[in-house]
Every structure is written in structure tokens, then in C-alpha cells.
Structure 1
């Protein structure tokens, strides 16, 4: 069933592509775009089966995200971010899944995980306060994952710092409506959210270190190997997959435009060998990004399915390649855009929309190359990377 999600998205592809313009104007996904995504089942691919999940693999999820992003970059981005959250819910106390999906198995969960809040320990849980940026898809979500630092009882982070993931229902947080004014990914509606002293029961909180190390899955006694994947391996997949889908969408729009385009000199562009050369080069780079990203997540899934460990060196290699996939795909979009003529910059041309969306998406933390490349190089030198370089791996 999970494998058919991409097919359902493709059937609705022309409508999704047309709705992309409306999403930009709205500054969030339209209700119809969200409905198409729900009906296709994208967000339920990684959802626990006992709560209506489709029992899909990470590759199924990645294929679905890339397919959505090929038609609408913003919609694909929301799928890549929001669609991975059900995976993490399985790591919590089973009560949490019932809280979220007990009444509606189509309920979405937003984020972000950046620890810009303070979670003060109180009896039975935590008291959370803070403000967070970039909550993609938040208008269509009824719960939110938020990152925070464990408090010291005085409103400051405890030392040494310990990052946490806490999850709250919509009544416990506020969405800041005027906080998403950007040049790309407009339709994601990635607005700020704020919390002012909300109580979070202990079973709705988890330490990041447990999620990152795989200890959370072990503590929960989960047998499905998908939940044994490291957070740093599964979380980036959907986001980078959305970037690759945007590149595929840009390539398709470029091809359709170049086929009938006539240059200022009156020649058919399709007969220009130089233009064709760069189209072929971009197509190869985008395909290489797709194959490498799928290869990394499939390898990791095979490892945990076989009961083998994914080491830090493995994680750094997968993250290195995932980052490179994003940068390679965006460079290919630049090649396409630069050779699509002046009309590519018109607001009615989807090429410029994919170009803007992809560049904004490349600014996400998980696409920052320096520390991860450095850490991976150190493992190749036979050295142990210091803690600052291990962040996000």
C-alpha cells in the first residue's frame, strides 16, 4: 500500500502543480493541497501501523516526498518535514500515539527541534517556555514537536546542556501568523510558534540523546527495525528528498520550455548543442543525487533489519552524502535556470519558483556541509572527531 502513494500523488500532479501558485499567495498550503496529501497517504507511510500507518519503508517515504516536490516544492517540503514525525512518536510511551491519533488518524504533527525553549522540571513533567522559528506545515497540524534545553529550576539551561524533544497539542502553543515573509518555500507556512509556561507531561518528552543513539527504541522494546534507525539518518531524508524533487520538477519544466523555445536570433533552442549539453549534465547530476540519497537510506535500513550496528563513521558517511546530494541538485537547478532565458524569471514560470524554493531549502541546518565533512574526513584519517563536529551526526 505504501508503494502506491507516489502513484496517487502523480495522478493528482497537475492539480498540485496548479495549486502551488495559490500556496505562494496564501503563504501556506491551501486546504485542497493538504487534502490531496492526506488522501494519498504521504504522512502515514512512517506512522505506526496500530494508528493507521501504511507500514512503509524509508525509501517509500523518500519516493513519495520527491514525487510531491516535483509538482510543488513547498508541498514536498511540508511532506518531508511533517511526514517523519510519526516515526518518532513510536519511540514514546504508547499513550502518546493514542492522544494524537485516537480520534483522527490523519492528524499532522509539526516541529521544529531547535532547542530554543527551556523545559523546567516540575512534578509529573515539565513547564515549557520559548519561541521557535520555521514550523513548516503548522497551520494544518494539531500537534507540534519542539526542541528545548532541560532547565535548572531558575529559567536557565542546566549544565551540561541536555537537549529534549517535547510534543504539545494545539491549545498549548500559539502560531505567529505574520512571521513567514520569505523569497522561497512560501507555501510551507513555516511560521514561528510560541509557548508560555505550558505543562508537558513526562510521557510527552524525550531526551535528544536517546533518540540520536537509538536508546529510545531499545527502551520502548520496538521490534520493527525502522525505529532503530538513528535520528540523524532518517530525519534528513525527507528534507533533502524535497530538494531533489524540486530539481526534478525544474528539469521537467525546463525541458518543456526548451522544446519549443526560439532564441533572439530566431534559432530553435532544441537544436543548440551547447544548450543540450548543459541540460544533459543537469539531468545526470539530479539523477546521481536521487540514487545516492536512496542508496544511503536503503543501506542503513538493511543494516538495522539485519541486526547490525550503524557506527558513527557510517552515520557521518551517510550524512556527508546526503548533504552533497542537496548541493549537487541545487547546482543543477542553477544550470537549468541560467540557460532557460529571460522568461524563466517571470513569476508565472515554475522554473523560477523551483529555483527559489531549492535555494531557501538549502539553508536548512541539515545541509550545512563544513562540520559534517570535517567529521567524516577525521574518521577516514582514523581519528575521533571532537564533540562540536559530531553535532547533527
Structure 2
């Protein structure tokens, strides 16, 4: 297991779409473009898994599609799109390769957070390069020390999805020294990846192509406007995001993080369903002449998996719309809605894993050949589903407490 540094690819300034190309983006063209490039991701999936990072050409195709502009505000030339547009564009990518889509969804989604930063940060980031390509890391938090004009940031974080093609890192940090028995004051910092080292330690049984290596930051300076010290954004709007008219920027921050993670999980399970359905007619049960596609048991599993995934999709879409609407609620009511949304995304994630298991149980041993795409996608689904935000029991407990009028037992949700 290596801990040497691994090179981060930072896009050149001319790798971004020009304003006319971005202006031509709309929900239909974006979905058409991601559908068009999906075969390339599928073709490069095994290679990306071996290399433990997104494939260079596949990632360039995602960039050219305009996918990363989906959550850039219209005031800065982006789409400022609603959650359904993101879902529609992301699913073709995730069906093709879950790992690369996972990182792509995080990169696209982290632009949502920038809308909550002070105006100078928004101008600096979106005014120069069109969108931010940021990996986001959280716990355990790093350390921020206040200095003249800004902060100095130090820390080591894991699970930096998107880091292999990132120009920035968003990191949760402690503001000042921790006090025993007290919750630490937290901030969210934006740090250029020129001040970041990525460790070559992403050795995973699934989701390898996401390249979610650890990151290390040592005494890096950031200006004041690259730090959010008031994390009211966790509950939706703050004074900066309210300046954007698009409703999506009221989507509560923590809920939004679960949203951009559950969508590629759904796409991965849908891709597995497509693969399984296409393979069934040509397979026979070993030791017999019976086509597996004529097996009643196979029909039952396929039918159940299809409806389970449709249920998961409808739940995700409904929860996302509810999250956007929650921004206008009083704080006490919004807490209850956020708890429900957390459980809905966790439940949808469990449905995706359940559907994958249904298909695997009836697909035979050949799917576990190392060159078979089924086993790769199946492993990706297991790792995606293990995300801390998808712990269904934890989410259900929180939702149950809220239903009984009890206080939250979680620091952030």
C-alpha cells in the first residue's frame, strides 16, 4: 500500500467551454451529451479501475459535455439547474462506469457550495475558469489558524473523491484550538490543489476508478474570503447564496452531499440491470438445456429489481424537490424535513443495493470472472452503498427522534 504522492491533473485555462458553448446548454442537450459519451466511459472502465483514477480521455469528454456547469449559477454563465436536470444527466455516466461518475458528480455538485461563499470568492473562482473542480473532505477536520488577511490550513483527510482532476479542495477545519467536552467551531475552507499533496493510497475492492486518494495540506495560506466560518449553509441559504435566484441554492448543504452521492449509486444499479437483462436470453443453466431467460425465477428477480430501482429513483427525485422547498421553512420545521430527507436518501441507497443483490443471486458464477463487467459494477455498488451518509439505521433513528419531538443526536445533518 503506497503513500507516495500521486500526480493531480489540473485542467488548463483553455480546457473550459467558451461562453457561447455554455449558453447553448439546456437539460435536453446535456442529457444527450452524457448519453453520447457513455460508451467511452464503459470502454475505459476496466483501465480506469486498474489505474485507480478516472481515464484521461473519458474525463476530458465529461468536461466537454458541460456536465460540470450544471450547478454554476446563471449569473456566472452556468445552468443553475434543478436536481432533476442533474439526475437526468448523471445517470448515463453512472450506468457506464460508476467510479468515474461518482467523482464527476462530486465535482459538479461542489459548485453548489461555492454559491454560499463571499462574493469575492465566487468572482475569483467562476469568473476565471467557469466552474470549480473541487474534491471535498470532512472528518476528522483539519486545523485552521487565523493570521493577517486569512488562515493557514493544515490537515490530512481521506476519501477525496475527484482529487485526481481537481483544481481545489474544500476542507472542513477546526477554527482555533479544540476545547475539551465542547463541540469544535468548524469552518469550510477552499484551498488550491497547488498546495495539496494527494497520497497514492486508494486501494479499494470497488469504486477504484474514482481515484479517491487521501490528501495532505501543510500550512497552506488562504485568504479570508476562502473560508466559511458561519456554517448556516448546512441548513440551506445564507446571505451569499440568496443573491442567486435559482431555487437549487436553497438545498441544505448536508442533504445536498447525500444527494450527489446517491444519484451515481442509482445509476450504477440501473446499469447493472441493463447488463443483466441483456445477458439473460443468451444464458443457459449449467447441466441443462434450459435458457435462463425462460426461467420463472429469473423473471421474478428481474421484475422485482426493476420496480425496486424505479421506486428508488422516484424517492430520490421527490426527496430532492422537498429539500429545495425546505429552504423557506422555519428552522424547527426544516430540521424535521432534513431528517426525513436523510433517511429517504439512505433508504434509496439500500434499495439500490437490494436490487443489485437480487440480480447477482440469479446471474450464476460466471459474473464473478475478473473480466466480467457485472462483478466490477457490483463491487462499485457495495462500496458506494457503504458511504457513511447511507447508514439506514442511523438515519431511521434520527428521523424517529424528530417524529417524537426529540432533539437531534447528530452534530450535522
State the TM-score, normalizing by the size of structure 2.
0.88
1:103 is paired with a residue whose SS is helix
Give deviations 1:169-204, integer Å, cap 9, x for gaps: 12111111x211111001000011101111121110
Distance 1:110 1:2, change over 3 A: farther
Contact 1:2 1:45 in 2 (8 A): no
Matches within 5 A, 1:177-256: 178-207=200-229, 209-214=231-236, 216-217=238-239, 221-256=243-278
2:335 aligned to which of 286, 290, 312: 312
SS at match of 2:79: coil
Paired with 2:285 and 2:302, the residues of 1 have a C-alpha distance of 16
The aligned counterpart of 2:82 is 57
Question: What is the aligned counterpart of 1:284 among 291, 307, 313?
Answer: 307
How much has 1:157 moved relative to structure 2?
Answer: 6.0
Name the CA shift for 1:3/1:223 in 2 (closer, same or farther; >3 Å).
closer
How do 1:118-129 residues align onto structure 2 when only pairs under 5 Å count?
Answer: 118-129=143-154
**Could you give the per-residue CA deviations for residues 94-118 of structure 1, whole angstroms, max 9, x where no partner exists?**
2223332343225511111224311
- 2:156 aligned residue (93, 115, 131): 131
Q: Distance in 1 between matches of 2:194 and 2:242?
A: 28
What is the number of equivalent residue pairs in this alignment?
384
Unpaired runs of at least 5, structure 2: 1-24
Q: Contact 1:115/1:149 (CA < 8 Å) preserved in 2?
A: no
Deviates more, 1:205-214 or 1:271-280: 205-214
Query: Any conservation in 2 of the 1:115–1:146 contact (CA below 8 Å)?
Result: no
Equivalent in 23, 41, 66 of residue 16 of structure 1: 41
Q: CA offset at residue 217 of structure 1?
A: 4.1
Cα gap change, 1:353/1:213 in structure 2, threshold over 3 Å: closer, same or farther? same
Q: Which ranges of structure 1 fall in alignment gaps of 5 or more residues?
A: none
Aligned twin of 1:323: 346
SS in 1 for 2:54: coil
Instruction: Indicate conservation of the 8 Å contact 1:151/1:157, yes or no.
Output: no
Distance (Å, rounded) in 2 between the aligned partners of 1:337 and 1:384? 41
Corresponding residue number in structure 1 for 2:27: 3
- Residue 385 of structure 1 deviates from its aligned partner by 2.4
Which residue in 2 is equivalent to 1:28? Answer: 53
- Indicate if the aligned counterparts of 1:42 and 1:83 stay in contact, CA closer than 8 A: yes
Indicate if the aligned counterparts of 2:136 and 2:169 stay in contact, CA closer than 8 A: yes
Q: 1:184·1:356 contact (CA, 8 Å) conserved in 2?
A: yes
In the TM superposition, what are the counterparts of 1:343-358 in structure 2 within 5 Å?
Answer: 343-358=366-381
CA contact (8 A) 1:240 1:326 kept: yes
Residues 1:391 and 2:407 are matched in the alignment: no
Query: In structure 2, do the counterparts of structure 1 residues 46 and 29 end up closer, same or farther at CA, with 3 Å as the change threshold?
Result: same
Aligned to 2:377, what secondary structure does the other structure show?
helix
Indicate the residue corresponding to 2:19 in structure 1.
none
TM-score calculated relative to the size of structure 1:
0.92
